[in-house]
């Protein structure tokens, strides 16, 4: 039988037509001498009616069997307007069994109670669920929008190599041994960063690519060892022009996918402001709960927890929740603080002139008055606070702030707040290496404010870089590139790279800049993460067709796996047992 229609397209206008459908049996229901089959394919579900004299056709059928059905379209007496075919059904003339199915390890339904391990082991069955299929379809739509928008603006899609050179900067590389070049390794790209900059030197004015990237790092719900990103670069362009281009694309995605029209320009928040107000460089601005510095209020405090904070150059910071938090809620928030290496979370409750809480008895009248004024407390509130190094206390309270929002349901999942974070630090301190390292990469241009002393004033040096943030998630990062050889040399020296290391790792790249390079800037954002947020998925694994689990394992085929000694010998590799 040759299919004439799919299971999601037949309507009342097709009544009395003879059709052939093919698909999976979702469900079989018997009502007296008549049977009903819900036939499912990629496009939808159609109800099939098997009359009394046709029962032998379905005698041995079971769920998930694949069948072809010939029948006549008739109007349903009991209509189901929740599905596109709910006004019609098919009166069976003939049925052909295409393929049988064993009993599936879980029911093919949107909401199914089964472990993720089982779902990932049978991902081909998990992908039959409408919810997961819709995620993959939406992903394809977003990719289509991206390509359409960039091509309309004269960007050229260029594929860059997967096999490249390993460099010491950035995250850990996935290495690929070369059989033809003894003891040598390729590295899978963490991004096409260097290649896209070379394309600008090559004269390609505007480049973009939807590209697979690889990072050997610890995983979590919004990370995979291999991931997909939109990568772009523009010649003769400033940070502002790149941001405008990305804004245009991301706004188009939201308009076509969610029906949300962002008319206003996105706000641009400096990194320092984000840390000061929200305790994060990827703030969720759907709710308030801003952080406040309280050093002045507690300048002469008797609270033991805060003793000596001025002498030790520490900061007292806090947030105010306009509710009286329960003991259980405070325990959850304290656990959040402990995850950031703080032993406790101080709190003070206020209601109708009465104070209580862990530090309430030690608060002076002056401190109480100033706290009421500082947080503009009207009726009742819980103040959460602690003391520590400015960066660490801000980071901890940023996490507590997000946890408060989760506990009190302060965010609407259908409310989307986009913003740019700008003026990032050029360097970050590495505890492991006990030195400053490039915060993004050593090819990011210092901000004009730091161009004179970025190699000596590392603590305050600012980069000409920017992140796009959505609802507490970093969507992507970008920056202006160094094209001046003198500035590039100063940057290499600032991060401790000697001439030998520079030549060994980046010589091939630096050499290109001797032949005339335009000023250029670019950006990249993670498509997996964007889709996860658009679909309200709990894990990035739900928006990738064949993902790895939290240990980087493909549960279907058990990759990574051991290989034969013969293969290792060809690569000149020995394994340690």
CATH number at residue 520: 3.30.930.10
Residue 479 scores a pLDDT above 90 = yes
119 inside domain: no
529 labelled binding-site residue: yes
68 inside domain: yes
Q: Is 193 helix (H, G, I), strand (E, B) or coil?
A: helix
526 labelled binding-site residue: yes
555 inside domain: no
Overall residue count recorded for the chain in this entry:
577
Residue 505 scores a pLDDT above 90 = no
239 inside domain: yes
Q: Is 255 helix (H, G, I), strand (E, B) or coil?
A: helix
542 pLDDT tier (thresholds 50, 70, 90):
very high
The mean pLDDT of the chain is 95
Contact 473/529 with Cβ under 8 angstroms? Answer: yes
Q: How far apart are CA 353 and CA 546, in angstroms?
A: 58
Mean pLDDT of 198-215: 97
- Percent pLDDT > 90 in the chain is 89
Q: How far apart are CA 371 and CA 114, in angstroms?
A: 49
561 inside domain: no
Q: What is the pLDDT of residue 440?
A: 85
570 labelled binding-site residue: no
Query: Same domain for 402 and 469?
Result: no
Among 383, 407, 431, which residue terminates a domain?
A: 407
Checking DSSP bridges between strand 267-270 and strand 418-422, what pairing results, if any?
A: parallel
577 pLDDT tier (thresholds 50, 70, 90):
confident
Q: What is the pLDDT of residue 432?
A: 83
Q: What is the pLDDT of residue 147?
A: 98
Q: How far apart are CA 111 and CA 515, in angstroms?
A: 59
219 pLDDT tier (thresholds 50, 70, 90):
confident
Residue ranges making up the domain that contains 77: 12-99
Q: Which two tokens stand for residue 525?
A: 């954002």
Query: Same domain for 149 and 265?
Result: yes
174 pLDDT tier (thresholds 50, 70, 90):
very high
Residue 367 scores a pLDDT above 90 = yes
User: Comparing 72-86, 232-246, 252-266, 499-513, which segment has the lowest mean pLDDT?
Assistant: 499-513
Q: How far apart are CA 429 and CA 170, in angstroms?
A: 14
Checking DSSP bridges between strand 206-214 and strand 156-157, what pairing results, if any?
A: parallel
Q: What is the pLDDT of residue 58?
A: 93
Among 385, 407, 429, which residue terminates a domain?
A: 407
How far from chain centre, in Å, is Cα 472? 10
Query: Same domain for 469 and 371?
Result: no
Contact 285/419 with Cβ under 8 angstroms? Answer: yes
Query: Same domain for 400 and 422?
Result: no
Q: Which residue has the higher pLDDT, 497 or 471?
A: 471
Q: What is the pLDDT of residue 369?
A: 96
Query: Same domain for 422 and 403?
Result: no
Query: Same domain for 422 and 528?
Result: yes
> Which burial class, exposed, middle or buried, applies to 318 when counting CB atoms under 10 A from its CB (0-12, 13-18, 19+)?
buried
557 inside domain: no
Query: Same domain for 160 and 192?
Result: yes
- Percent pLDDT > 70 in the chain is 99
Q: What is the pLDDT of residue 571?
A: 93
Mean pLDDT of 492-497: 90
Query: Same domain for 152 and 221?
Result: yes
Residue with tokens 């097709």: 14
528 labelled binding-site residue: yes
Q: How far apart are CA 346 and CA 358, in angstroms?
A: 6
Residue 349 scores a pLDDT above 90 = yes
Q: What is the pLDDT of residue 170?
A: 67
User: Comparing 114-118, 198-202, 407-411, 504-508, which segment has the lowest mean pLDDT?
Assistant: 504-508
Q: What is the pLDDT of residue 168?
A: 65
> Which burial class, exposed, middle or buried, applies to 289 when counting CB atoms under 10 A from its CB (0-12, 13-18, 19+)?
buried
Residue 169 scores a pLDDT above 70 = no
Query: Same domain for 336 and 226?
Result: no
Among 407, 440, 456, which residue terminates a domain?
A: 407
85 pLDDT tier (thresholds 50, 70, 90):
very high
215 labelled binding-site residue: yes
Query: Same domain for 468 and 534?
Result: yes
- How many domains does the chain contain in total? 3
4 inside domain: no
Query: Same domain for 465 and 397?
Result: no
Q: How far apart are CA 436 and CA 438, in angstroms?
A: 7
171 pLDDT tier (thresholds 50, 70, 90):
confident
Q: What is the pLDDT of residue 433?
A: 84
List CB contacts of 279: < 8 A, sequence separation 6 or more. Answer: 291, 394, 395, 396, 397, 398, 399, 401
Assign residue 409 a region (left: φ > 0; alpha: ψ between -120 and 50; beta: otherwise): left
337 pLDDT tier (thresholds 50, 70, 90):
very high
Q: What is the CATH number of the domain that holds 296?
A: 3.30.1360.30
Residue 550 scores a pLDDT above 90 = no
Q: Which two tokens stand for residue 18?
A: 């003879």
Which parts of 76-165 are beta strand (E)?
Answer: 88-99, 156-157
Query: Same domain for 514 and 536?
Result: yes
Residue 28 scores a pLDDT above 90 = yes
440 labelled binding-site residue: yes
217 labelled binding-site residue: yes
Residue 37 scores a pLDDT above 80 = yes
Angle between helices 130-152 and 239-258 (to 10 degrees): 140
Q: What is the pLDDT of residue 506?
A: 87
216 labelled binding-site residue: yes
148 labelled binding-site residue: no
* pTM of the full structure: 0.91
Q: What is the pLDDT of residue 146?
A: 98
260 inside domain: yes
- Whether a cis peptide bond, with omega within 30° of 0, leads into 204 is no
Mean pLDDT of 448-458: 95
Q: What is the CATH number of the domain that holds 36?
A: 2.40.50.140
Contact 68/98 with Cβ under 8 angstroms? Answer: yes
Mean pLDDT of 230-244: 98
């Amino acid at each position: 039988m040759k299919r004439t229609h799919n299971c999601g397209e037949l309507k009342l206008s097709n009544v009395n037509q003879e059709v052939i459908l093919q698909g999976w049996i979702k469900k079989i229901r018997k009502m007296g001498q008549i049977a009903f089959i819900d036939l499912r394919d990629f496009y939808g579900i159609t109800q099939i009616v098997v009359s009394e004299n046709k029962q032998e056709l379905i005698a041995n059928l079971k769920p998930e069997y694949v069948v072809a059905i010939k029948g006549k379209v008739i109007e349903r007496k009991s209509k189901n307007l929740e599905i596109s075919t709910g006004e019609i059904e098919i009166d069976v003339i003939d049925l052909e069994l295409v393929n049988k199915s064993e009993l599936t390890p879980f029911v093919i339904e949107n909401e199914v109670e089964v472990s993720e391990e089982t779902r990932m082991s049978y991902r081909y069955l998990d992908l039959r669920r409408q919810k997961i299929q819709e995620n993959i379809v939406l992903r394809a739509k977003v990719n289509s929008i991206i390509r359409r928008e960039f091509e309309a603006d004269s960007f050229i899609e260029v594929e860059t190599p997967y096999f490249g050179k390993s460099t010491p900067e950035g995250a850990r590389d996935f290495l690929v041994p070369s059989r033809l070049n003894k003891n040598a390794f390729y590295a899978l790209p963490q991004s096409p960063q260097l290649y896209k900059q070379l394309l600008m030197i090559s004269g390609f004015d505007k480049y973009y690519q939807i590209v697979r990237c690889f990072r050997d790092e610890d995983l979590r719900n919004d990370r995979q060892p291999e991931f997909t990103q939109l990568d772009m670069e523009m010649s003769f362009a400033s940070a502002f022009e790149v941001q405008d281009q990305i804004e245009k694309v991301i706004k188009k995605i939201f308009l076509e996918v969610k029906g949300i029209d962002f008319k206003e320009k996105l706000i641009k928040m400096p990194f320092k402001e984000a840390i000061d107000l929200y305790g994060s460089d990827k703030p969720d601005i759907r709710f308030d709960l801003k952080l406040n510095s309280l050093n002045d209020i507690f300048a002469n405090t008797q609270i033991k927890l805060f003793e000596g904070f001025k002498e030790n150059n520490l900061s007292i910071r806090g947030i105010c929740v306009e509710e009286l938090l329960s003991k259980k809620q405070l325990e959850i928030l304290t656990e959040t603080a402990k995850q950031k290496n703080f032993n406790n979370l101080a709190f003070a409750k206020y209601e109708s002139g009465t104070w209580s809480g862990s530090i309430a008895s030690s608060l002076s009248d002056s401190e109480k008055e100033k706290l009421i004024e500082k947080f503009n407390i009207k009726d009742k509130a819980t103040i959460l606070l602690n003391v520590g190094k400015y960066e660490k206390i801000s980071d901890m309270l940023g996490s507590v702030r997000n946890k408060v929002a989760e506990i009190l349901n302060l965010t609407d999942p259908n409310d989307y707040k986009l913003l740019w974070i700008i003026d990032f630090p050029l360097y970050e301190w590495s505890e492991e290496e006990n030195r400053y390292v490039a915060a993004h990469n050593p090819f990011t241009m210092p901000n004009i404010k730091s161009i004179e002393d970025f190699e000596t004033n590392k603590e305050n040096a600012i980069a000409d870089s920017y992140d796009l943030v959505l609802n507490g998630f970093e969507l992507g990062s970008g920056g202006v590139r160094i094209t001046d050889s003198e500035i590039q040399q100063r940057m290499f020296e600032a991060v401790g790279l000697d001439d030998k290391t520079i030549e060994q790792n980046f010589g091939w790249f630096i050499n290109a800049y001797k032949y005339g390079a335009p000023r250029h800037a670019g950006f990249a954002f993670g498509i997996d993460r964007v889709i996860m947020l658009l679909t309200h998925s709990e894990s990035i694994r739900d928006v990738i067709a064949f993902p790895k689990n939290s240990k980087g394992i493909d549960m279907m085929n058990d990759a990574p796996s051991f290989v034969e000694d013969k293969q290792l010998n060809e690569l000149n590799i020995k394994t340690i047992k």
